[in-house]
């Protein structure tokens, strides 16, 4: 609005000068500012880790076992502290068939803040916290996952991704 008024005033002055027999050269500059909002990657999480986290989360939300299998290196991935036989995907499918589907939990914990533990990014952040160290806010974030504490340790489902972006584990228990 202010620019339009200034341009109109300058044009009016030019017309008055022209009528009076004078000449004036006038230059009008218009500047347009464009603001674009883009989602930036977290400077605290390496891009490789964020890509893997997003891919695992999307596959878990979609219940896409095949996509999850492609993100796993069987030689370097932990999914159980015992030997249930088969691989991770078979184990998770068996749990789902028994009414204990871990994929919604996987998607949910990957939405929470992480913690760094032994060189890995681990979700949820509660993994290395004792229950008495949790703030009310953190308890609220965890919701019913707070029940995953046994004594002073978090034994619920947790996922870890190495700094190089390799998915390292999705386990529960000790």
| The pLDDT of residue 82 | 72
| The pLDDT of residue 85 | 73
Q: pLDDT tens, 57-84?
A: 999 999 999 999 999 999 899 998 776 6
The rounded distance, in Å, linking the Cα atoms of 108 and 123 is: 10
Q: Rounded to a whole number, what is the largest CA-CA distance in the chain?
A: 99
Whether this prediction's pTM lies above 0.75 is answered by no
| The pLDDT of residue 3 | 39
CA-closest candidate to residue 52, choices 105, 118, 122, 117: 122
Task: Give 78's DSSP letter.
Answer: B
| The pLDDT of residue 155 | 93
């Amino acid at each position: 609005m202010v620019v339009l008024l200034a341009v109109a005033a300058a044009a009016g002055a030019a017309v008055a000068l022209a009528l009076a027999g004078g000449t004036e050269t006038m230059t009008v500059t218009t500047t347009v500012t464009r603001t674009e909002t883009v989602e930036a990657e977290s400077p605290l999480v390496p891009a490789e880790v964020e890509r893997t986290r997003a891919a695992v989360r999307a596959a878990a939300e979609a219940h896409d076992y095949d996509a999850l299998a492609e993100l796993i290196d069987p030689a370097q991935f932990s999914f159980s502290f015992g030997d249930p036989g088969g691989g991770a995907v078979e184990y998770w499918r068996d749990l789902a068939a028994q009414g204990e589907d871990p994929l919604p939990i996987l998607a949910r914990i990957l939405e929470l803040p992480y913690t760094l533990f032994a060189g890995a990014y681990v979700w949820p952040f509660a993994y290395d916290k004792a229950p008495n160290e949790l703030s009310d806010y953190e308890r609220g974030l965890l919701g019913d996952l707070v029940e995953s504490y046994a004594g002073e340790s978090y034994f619920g489902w947790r996922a870890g991704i190495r700094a190089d972006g390799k998915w390292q584990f999705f386990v529960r228990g000790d």
